[in-house]
Chains A and B, each alone.
Chain A
Amino acid sequence: MALRLMLASSRIASHLRISVSHRAFSSVVLKDLKYADSHEWVKIEGNKATVGITDHAQEHLGDVVYVKLPDVGRSVSQGESFGAVESVKATSDINSPISGKVLQVNKDLSESPALVNSSPYEEGWIMKVELSDAGEVKKLMDSDKYSKFCEEEDSKH
């Protein structure tokens, strides 16, 4: 019975493009995104990219009360800080998973920073970037690698 349920949930998950790992307290990892080891995600569409922080990141941050958004038009570089989020009296830098020019930022986060917690992959997106080097994406992790990475980090304590 348990096996049938597990297979069913995997089938539903794969239809929804969600990677589900069958362990306790797993965070959501989406199959069609790429991931940085600093827990940011990027969705590539042609030469444009949308960036945010992952479910794992928002869980470990706590309730986000403020998001420092980058200025539209500025350059961002892979691995470099482009903004910050504040939660529980901690300001955490967020690093860009790709290099390029900021086209748009999610202004909703100024009024509703908690969107980063409630919807990290959809309404909590942070910026849209015009890519300057599509090849950089190769340096990022796919969903399986990122899931394993999160498991390894969480097992450290």
Chain B
Amino acid sequence: MRSPRTLEVWRLGTVNYLKSLKIQDKLVSERKSHQIPDTLLSLEHPPTYTLGKRRTDHNLLIPQSQLTKIGAELHYTQRGGDITFHGPHQAILYPIISLRSIGFGARNYVETLERSMIEFASMYGVRARAGNKCETGVWVGDRKIGAIGVRISCGITCHGLAFNIDPDLNYFEHIVPCGIADKEVTSLRRETDALLPKEEVIHKQLITCFAKAFSYDDVVWKEDPSFILDTKDDG
């Protein structure tokens, strides 16, 4: 009989990208040394473009010098995947979980992240699907609604998924999103006629779908985000 699995959830509001990397580094280290259980960060970023480990900056279609003009930052990361955009009204989940304790490899993990988003979309009557080979992510027809980019280090995950609730899709025009040309990006707002509740509610629904997909027995909602946001700033 396996021991019950607990997920601790931190809802952090809008967090600067670099700050979120520092928070994740700290949590990954704490998870590796068993100081914390599986942890999930739920947040949004201000307008930010990010690149993966392969540094595919040819997929940024405007000069880096123009980025401040459009109110966006650019960051290079160690996650898998290509270039993407994060911004207001896009729900982000960063799971810091131990894949070894559930015997998952990268493929199972990413497929379960996809299932979480598909299940969530279905709550609004949106029929989403997992991507075809080489198109990891969640699609509605040929339009991408959810993106994935993760890093796994000693079996502990960081980075995660981004689901478009109602972001400004114009920001995606400045990139070849995820390196896939000729495919549109879409959002929950565009794909459903259903009335969207407050974003707090939407985030909670997405978190619940994640917890269900990963078979957590218990979800602990952490109440004081300042505990995690007040990470010592090195710069």
Which A residues contact B (CB, under 8 angstroms)?
38, 57, 59-63, 65-66, 68, 81, 84, 86-93, 95, 153-157
Known contacts A66-B53, A157-B102: A87-B81 contact under CB 8 Å: no
A38 to B99, CA, bound (A): 12
Interface flags for B77-104 (1: CB within 8 Å of A; 0: not) read 0111100000000000000000011111
Q: Which residues does chain A contribute within 8 Å of B59, judged by CB atoms?
A: none
| Shortest CB distance A60–B (Å) | 2
Contact among B105, B136, B154 for A89, CB-based, below 8 A: B136
A92 to B153, CA, bound (A): 6
What is the chain A residue whose CB lies nearest that of B81? A89
Q: Which residues does chain A contribute within 8 Å of B107, judged by CB atoms?
A: 60-62, 87-88, 90
B108 within 8 A of A: yes
Q: Which residues does chain A contribute within 8 Å of B102, judged by CB atoms?
A: 156-157
Residue contact A38 to B150, C-beta cutoff 8 Å: no
Residue contact B103 to A89, C-beta cutoff 8 Å: no
Residue contact A89 to B54, C-beta cutoff 8 Å: no
Number of contact residues on B: which range applies? 20 to 34
Contact among B54, B78, B108 for A66, CB-based, below 8 A: B54
What is the chain B residue whose CB lies nearest that of A37? B100
Residue contact A90 to B151, C-beta cutoff 8 Å: yes
Residue contact B103 to A62, C-beta cutoff 8 Å: no
| Shortest CB distance A84–B (Å) | 7
Query: Which 6 residue pairs are nearest across A and B when measured between Cβ atoms?
Result: A60-B105, A156-B103, A62-B107, A90-B106, A89-B81, A91-B80
B133 within 8 A of A: yes
| Shortest CB distance B218–A (Å) | 18
What is the chain B residue whose CB lies nearest that of A86? B80
Query: Which among A59, A81, A91 has the highest number of chain B CB atoms within 10 Å?
Result: A91
What is the chain B residue whose CB lies nearest that of A87? B106
Residue contact B154 to A93, C-beta cutoff 8 Å: yes
A100 to B53, CA, bound (A): 25
Q: List 15 contacting pairs A-B, 8 Å CB cutoff, sorted by A.
A: A38-B154, A59-B105, A60-B104, A60-B107, A65-B134, A84-B53, A86-B52, A88-B106, A88-B110, A89-B79, A89-B137, A91-B52, A91-B79, A91-B80, A153-B100
State which residues 138-192 of B face A: CB under 8 Å: 148-155
Contact among B101, B109, B133, B137 for A90, CB-based, below 8 A: B109
| Shortest CB distance A72–B (Å) | 20
Query: Which among B80, B104, B154 has the highest number of chain A CB atoms within 10 Å?
Result: B80
Contact among B52, B101, B152 for A93, CB-based, below 8 A: B152
A156 to B101, CA, bound (A): 7
Q: Which residues does chain B contribute within 8 Å of A61, judged by CB atoms?
A: 105-107
A59 to B81, CA, bound (A): 19
State which residues 42-101 of B face A: CB under 8 Å: 52-54, 78-81, 100-101
Residue contact A90 to B80, C-beta cutoff 8 Å: yes
| Shortest CB distance A96–B (Å) | 13
A68 to B103, CA, bound (A): 24
Q: Which residues does chain A contribute within 8 Å of B153, judged by CB atoms?
A: 81, 92-93
Residue contact B152 to A91, C-beta cutoff 8 Å: yes
A69 to B223, CA, bound (A): 42
